[in-house]
Amino acid sequence: MGKINRRSSLKYLGLGSLAAGTGLVIPGCEDKREKIETGHDRHGSAAASQELTTQEQKDQEMMKQKFFTEEERKTVRVLADIILPRDDRSGNASDAGVPEFIEFMMLDQPNKQVPMRGGLKWLNNQCLKRYDKAFVECSEPQQTEILDAIAWPAQAKPEMSQGVAFFNSFRDLVASGFWTSKMGIEDLQYMGNVGNPNWNGCPEEACQKLGVSNS
């Protein structure tokens, strides 16, 4: 995993999720009300607002529920922070509320529960076999070693296929959770539809490369 800049690579995964929008109301995420109200025709705003309120209530109730055991929750937090660590630009996955996002997704999409729980168990079992301790208790080099064995699908051994599938799915959830959070959007320096009063058209150098003209 040290072969590439994880934050830079995952940013592009997160951009897809950001464009699609999750519409979830979770700590640090954009307000779903604003998304819906700006995305619907004004004539349908009353119905949309009512639908939104109902969904928000369901989401809030779901957020009170728990899916992970305490041990699983610790593993999720540690793994998420390894995938997306804190740097001089922004906080890590936990700072952005990603573990809470992942737990919400398990409740919102029950079909993800068995693969997630199975993957976490697989990770711990592999660590117990190799190092005689659970993933969260392993040293940083040990954690890196086990993750390097599953983070690169083309290089992974066939017997690691379950871990590869789990890690890829988990990494996508981390990316989606971070770059749809307030912290992640600020990390992208995403400003939304903001006018630029100083825009003078495409730079001439770019126009020449594209074979077009500003005139």
Taking only the tens place, the pLDDT of each residue in 144-180 is 999 999 999 999 999 999 999 999 999 999 999 999 9
State the Cα–Cα distance between residues 103 and 67, nearest whole angstrom. Answer: 6
In the chain, the number of structural domains is 1
Q: What is the DSSP letter of 90?
A: S
Q: What is the pTM of this model?
A: 0.67
| Per-residue pLDDT reduced to its tens digit, 123-152 | 999 999 999 999 999 999 999 999 999 999
Residue 115 · residue 162 · CB < 8 Å: no
Integer-rounded Cα Rg, in Å, for the chain is 21
* Domain hosting residue 124, numbered range: 6-31+68-191
201 in any annotated domain: no
75 in any annotated domain: yes
183 in any annotated domain: yes
- Residue 159, CA distances (Å) to 90, 122, 155 in order: 36, 12, 12
63 in any annotated domain: no
Question: Higher confidence at residue 72 or residue 28?
Answer: 72
205 in any annotated domain: no
Question: Higher confidence at residue 57 or residue 36?
Answer: 57
61 in any annotated domain: no
Q: What is the DSSP letter of 4?
A: S
Q: Which of 9-13, 20-24, 61-65, 181-185 has the highest mean pLDDT?
A: 181-185
User: Which residue, chain included where needed, has tokens 């995964």?
Assistant: 13
204 in any annotated domain: no
95 in any annotated domain: yes
